[in-house]
Structure 1
């Protein structure tokens, strides 16, 4: 019997003997308990690279809840230690623009400065300190006060931060290292010149730093001696030590120290500079080096030869990365190389349309795993070319359009992706587009709208239509295309018109005026007044609503709508990019303050937050009229 059952059902066969009723009772109890046991679903563990990419996307659009959920997912992979978790916390706060929270956490910075930090974390910490303590002084043009504040607030408390720049080229990091060199007893002319050359020609602080590095301001030395190089190395100033040893004739001692510096700095540029210096030495000198030193030199040299294990180490810039990705080999190593993107130059792309077009062509023609790697790199590419207030131009617009296409091509589009599309669309339209480019953008938007059309994403759809309505249109074909998109949205909305609230209806009416449509075209999307329905409207007469947004057109439309809906209310708009007395006064006197944080400056946010004591700011989910109105009316109705 047991053999027959095993052959029929497989697995283990249990044989029971004894009192039948008692056995049946026990089996019944077991069956009932087993039925109560919750089902356990084994969730597949996603690749860490995919989670990191989603995390960076969430930070780009400042979606804190999504970013925190992704940190939990990363933690659940079991691959993070306490040090990694601290790095993620810094990255989260930096991505959300919480710079003062980072800068004023003294022991966090002190602890991390003693570790061998990734370049991104070094950049985040330095950026936070610079923004918090130096931005205003730089804007004032007072170079002496700037250097003094740097010494007191940054250099003296955290000297270990300036051991090495790890090749990071973001402007505030470069300026911080430049100030650190200026603050030394004998600044090096060569180091100052090398750092100053990394600053973009349109950097707002360029004049201040030219004044700071003038020989009449700091006692610059032009020569390098062995003692100065040794002192820099002993003090743990590896960038400075490497530059000074490199300028001196080679010795057995300097070779050993140059290798140590190169390993700590860890950039391809440093490795190549060291090997070039060693290759210029005589064979007799090389043979006279100790065996362990020669092995280290060969190890550094082999990094450039062994493509199988160090393909990423050879990548020196964005174009190099795109070319290697297009070769479709060693994809894991090449894809991971974007971790070094802070060391890659982007200014040449902004000045060379042919270079940008070549970059776009390479990434736009990828397939399979290489295309997936490119889509995962979207946050890194955006951060490199468009973050930190960098405005697009006709060259980088090509890269913005590529990123737009890469997101649209994703099989699933999340709310985070939609916000990123909106940011890219704003950059592209600001630069200006041709008729062909405009038509392609509208086709992509129609495709996206077909896939995401719902009440959940209605505010995003309305904000995009508004962006198109107020931006220049290159041709009549473009006007027809944007009208089709709006009518498509109207058609989709008919299916959930019963869910619409007043804050959803007003933007439709504004857009009808923009597109020259009769309000009857809205069908079931009608305001209570048009339907002849009386609704109770809160009395806001005598109240003051403040709106902060850098999208002034959206602010004006929101002001008009609110004043129409609530007679007697006063609505003030502010678009100051820095902390001003006017903005602080507005925050103190307003009854309701709505902050369009996706169209704002960090200095303005902290100005409002400090003045808006013990009250919650109303944070608009987007930067268009629909998002602002939805935020205000949701607050009033709650």
Structure 2
């Protein structure tokens, strides 16, 4: 037998009365009748086999944890366990644990982040050795079944577009764990270049808030040596911002951040600040421009600061010069100065000349690129033919040609035209969107043209669904508003997909939010409700339940007519919740009953079973005692969601005090709350920067939920609450 890993030893050391050393011992083992039951489960885990089925014995109680590598495999394990165990010796429902309630679960969740299944024995089974033996043997038989399966059944690759859809949906919702999981899946497809994989990995790390790791990525130098995509530039700038640069976005803060600190952050990525960045000169990108200017100033690249866009406050630029010890500038409103063109590019006559010109193009402006394109076009054809031997230089030249030779229309318009072509390659189109869309101009976007494509054939519809997270991100960054009818058509397209998973429910929530923010007809509300019912019918699951509750909250809080559709949708969800009540987290159960009261009134509460199964949430008492007397501050502009979260959390943790704040700016009341609260939960998706920066300067331990609804707020606090309480 192999040597057990550290995490497995910790699992059997932490509050688990099963002695791993005795199970493995040849001289002092357990009684054979116990040893024979324990060894199959434990030896399988030691050998690194999946699934994991591990026993825990504590205070005379026996139970088991089941774990798998991903959510789909975990759901399959649940079905197999239910078929093998039945209901004679164990409870038929196995609660899904995604948030550790105790140290032993935390140890196991680090190995299996998809979640744990808890197998509890019935009360009579706990004291009857024959019944306990039957459960052990049944679990051992499950492991045997897995070992007998042909290996080919585990090697099923999903379409690249579908994985990218899930990946960017996770990135957009800042769910770092899921983003990293989908990135690992993307790596196995073999469809991406090394540069593209580095860019995707950095975006996954951004979702995980791994800011220092982003700036220290071992392969980042490969990206800095080429023409950097706009998306990657923004990731690097946001890393600088979150490590201290954001504090300098307002003039009064320059005295609070040491110049040397920012300089050290920027030095590893100094090529980024040596040339004008590929950022659009629109005011919605002002924070990105300021962060670039901060980096350029900290490194002494003062020339680039002369051409900042005119929406950057001249007084702020003067403060930046003073802070970075740069030559003093007269505080006059700057204009966008054209970047002086390099000396006219001569047509290369040797291959070495051609190589130098193309390598220089990687840091060239658009005007300089056009000169390079003309010069290389005039070079002898045999020189250009030699590029085929050098794939990197050939790729650089092809990229320049695509910009200037007119062979391919750029932007959204060109992409949608290629989408409609019968010979279109889906993988090539989704790669183009993923790599280039953040550089596409606003002028290239047409809501009407995109709406026409929503009614295309099956392959077009599939590709558009895969493009949705990238489209949402592109529109959000440019603050572009589309009509309610446009978003309704998108929701219907999403609901018509053959396979709906939790990522799609999360995307549906973003669509509903945009739909509700625009005027719409009452008839469209009925279509909205029907689409959501169809979406849930296809993709309803325990893992997607929280996302659907957030959609319900959006419908509940909006002021326009539509409550009849909400009630119909809630009845569908209520049936789902009641059929899986014991599989829901306690917070989900409490929030479900709270929403039911708001939608149907107090009388509806009688439709639901008790919140807790007998003894199932007893460990909550420990958390409640630790949180009693503590103060949680919740800052959110979504007042209804914050109010519901307060009600649920104060109900779950008796003695916990929750205070809410909805101020649009950093008022004295908000800043005082930030100073006195034990925990501060900041709903960043619904807040404005005027409030964020002052609060983040007061405390660096802000808790960020993944969404804006009560379920996201509650889940974020519960995860952090466990971490805080275990210190």
> Which residue number in structure 2 is paired with residue 322 of structure 1?
416
Counterpart of 2:247 in structure 1 is: 136
Structure 2 residue 568 is the aligned partner of structure 1 residue 484:
yes
Q: State whether residues 494 and 523 of structure 1, in contact with CA within 8 Å, keep that contact through their aligned partners in structure 2.
A: no
Matches within 5 A, 1:304-315: 314-315=408-409
Task: Name the structure 2 match of 1:92.
Answer: 204
Residue 334 of structure 1 deviates from its aligned partner by: 3.6
Aligned residue among 214, 217, 220 for 1:102: 214
**How big is the shift at 1:403?**
4.4
Paired residues, number: 546
Tell me how far apart the structure 2 counterparts of residues 466 and 421 of structure 1 sit (CA, whole Å).
13
Q: CA deviation at 1:454?
A: 4.5
Give 1:374's aligned residue.
Answer: 464
In 2, the alpha carbon distance for the partners of 1:496 and 1:608 equals 40
Please point out which of 439, 448, 455 is paired with 1:365: 455
Question: In the TM superposition, what are the counterparts of 1:488-637 in structure 2 within 5 Å?
Answer: 488-497=572-581, 503-515=587-599, 517-522=600-605, 524-525=607-608, 542-563=629-650, 569-574=656-661, 590=677, 611=699, 622-629=707-714
Task: Give 1:511 shift.
Answer: 3.2
Q: Which runs of 5+ in 1 are unaligned?
A: 1-32, 198-202, 225-239, 280-285, 350-354, 530-534
Of 438, 441, 457, the match for 2:528 = 441
2:658 aligned counterpart, secondary structure: strand
Q: Which residue pairs with 1:7 in the alignment? A: none
Secondary structure at the aligned position of 1:54 is classed as helix
Q: Which residue of 2 is the match for residue 465 of structure 1? A: 552
- Distance in 2 separating the partners of 1:379 and 1:206: 36
CA separation of 1:330 and 1:607: change in aligned 2, threshold 3 A: same
- Whole-angstrom CA distance in 1 between matches of 2:254 and 2:366: 33
Tell me if 1:337 matches 2:448: no
Matching of residues 149-160 of structure 1 within 5 Å: 152=263, 158-160=269-271
TM-superposed CA distance for 1:311, in Å, is: 11
Partner residue in 2 for 1:21: none
**What aligned pairs does 1:271-282 form with structure 2 within 5 A after superposition?**
none
Distance 1:128 1:99 in 2: 5
Distance 1:561 1:151 in 2: 42
Equivalent in the alignment of 2:99: none
Residue 358 of structure 2 aligns with which residue? 260
What SS class does the counterpart of residue 44 from structure 1 fall into? coil
Instruction: Tell me how far apart the structure 2 counterparts of residues 91 and 587 of structure 1 sit (CA, whole Å).
Output: 30
Structure 2 SS opposite 1:328 = coil
- CA gap of 1:563–1:364, structure 2 versus 1, over 3 A, is same
Deviations 1:494-520 (A, max 9, x none): 3334656764454345434543x3433
The alignment status of 1:421 with 2:508, answered yes or no, reads: yes
Shift of 1:171: 5.3
2:236 aligned residue (118, 125, 138): 125
**Do the aligned partners of 1:138 and 1:205 also contact (CA within 8 Å) in 2?**
no
TM-score (norm 1): 0.66
- Distance, in Å, in 2 between the alignment partners of 1:48 and 1:318 is 21
Per-residue deviation, 1:471: 0.9
Give runs of aligned pairs for residues 391-430 of structure 1, distance below 5 A: 391=479, 393=481, 395=482, 400-401=487-488, 403-430=490-517
Say if 1:400 and 1:505 are closer, same or farther in 2 by CA, change over 3 A.
Answer: same
Contact 2:549 2:711 in 1 (8 A): yes
Note closer, same or farther for the CA distance 1:36–1:123 as it changes in structure 2 (3 Å cut).
Answer: closer
Structure 1 position 69, deviation (Å):
2.1
- Structure 1 residue 364 displacement after superposition: 0.6
RMSD over equivalenced CA pairs, Å? 5.5
Give, in whole Å, the separation in 1 of the partners of 2:680 and 2:167. 30
Does the residue aligned with 2:660 lie in a helix, a strand or coil? Answer: strand
1:230 corresponding residue in structure 2: none
Matched, 1:244 2:341: yes
Aligned mates of 1:106, 1:305 — CA distance in 2: 28
Write out per-residue CA displacement over residues 480-502 of structure 1, whole angstroms, 9 at most, x where no aligned residue: 22222122322333333465676
Distance 1:60 1:580, change over 3 A: same
Between the aligned partners of 1:631 and 1:301, the Cα distance in structure 2 is 44
Query: Which 10-residue stretch deviates more, 154-163 or 552-561?
Result: 154-163
With the length of structure 2 as denominator, give the TM-score of the two structures: 0.59
- Which string of whole-angstrom CA distances, capped at 9 and with x for unpartnered residues, describes residues 276-306 of structure 1? 7999xxxxxx6xx656668799x99996999
Q: Does 500-509 or 543-552 show the bigger shift?
A: 500-509
Q: Is the 8 A contact 2:176 2:209 kept in 1?
A: no
Contact 1:459 1:626 in 2 (8 A): yes
Contact kept, 8 Å, 1:133 with 1:149, in 2: the verdict is: no
1:331 and 1:369 in contact (8 A); partners too: no
Q: Note if contact 2:634-2:660 (Cα within 8 Å) is conserved in structure 1.
A: yes
The 2-side partners of 1:488 and 1:260 are apart by 60
Question: 1:161 maps to what in 2?
Answer: 272
**3-state SS, counterpart of residue 580 of structure 2:** helix
Q: 1:564 to 1:76 in 2, by over 3 A?
A: closer
Deviation at 1:469, TM superposition (A): 0.9
Q: Give distance in 1, aligned partners of 2:498 and 2:167.
A: 18
Measured after TM superposition, the shift of residue 604 of structure 1 is 5.4
- In the superposition, relative to structure 1, how do residues 292 and 144 fare at CA in structure 2: closer, same or farther (>3 Å)? farther
Q: Would the aligned equivalents of 1:546 and 1:594 in 2 still touch at CA under 8 Å?
A: yes
Q: Go from structure 1 to structure 2 and tell me whether the alpha carbon gap of 1:335 and 1:483 turns closer, same or farther (over 3 Å shift).
A: same
SS at 1:547 equivalent: strand
- SS of the residue corresponding to residue 708 of structure 2 reads coil
Verify the 8 A CA contact 2:290 2:312 in the aligned structure 1.
Answer: no
In 2, Cα distance between equivalents of 1:607 and 1:84: 36
| Cα shift readout 1:617-638 (whole Å, capped 9, x = no counterpart) | 8775643234444666796899
Q: Is the 8 A contact 1:454 1:493 kept in 2?
A: no
Per the alignment, in what secondary structure is the counterpart of residue 169 of structure 2?
A: helix
Counterparts of 1:185 and 1:595, CA distance in 2? 36
User: Which digits, 9 at most, give the CA deviation of each residue in 1:142-195, with x for residues without a partner?
Assistant: 899999789946766643224666845365555566678886565697xx3xx6
**Gap change, CA 1:37 and 1:187, over 3 Å in 2:** closer
Quick one: structure 1 residues 258 and 427, their matched pair in 2 at CA, closer, same or farther if it must change by over 3 Å?
Answer: farther
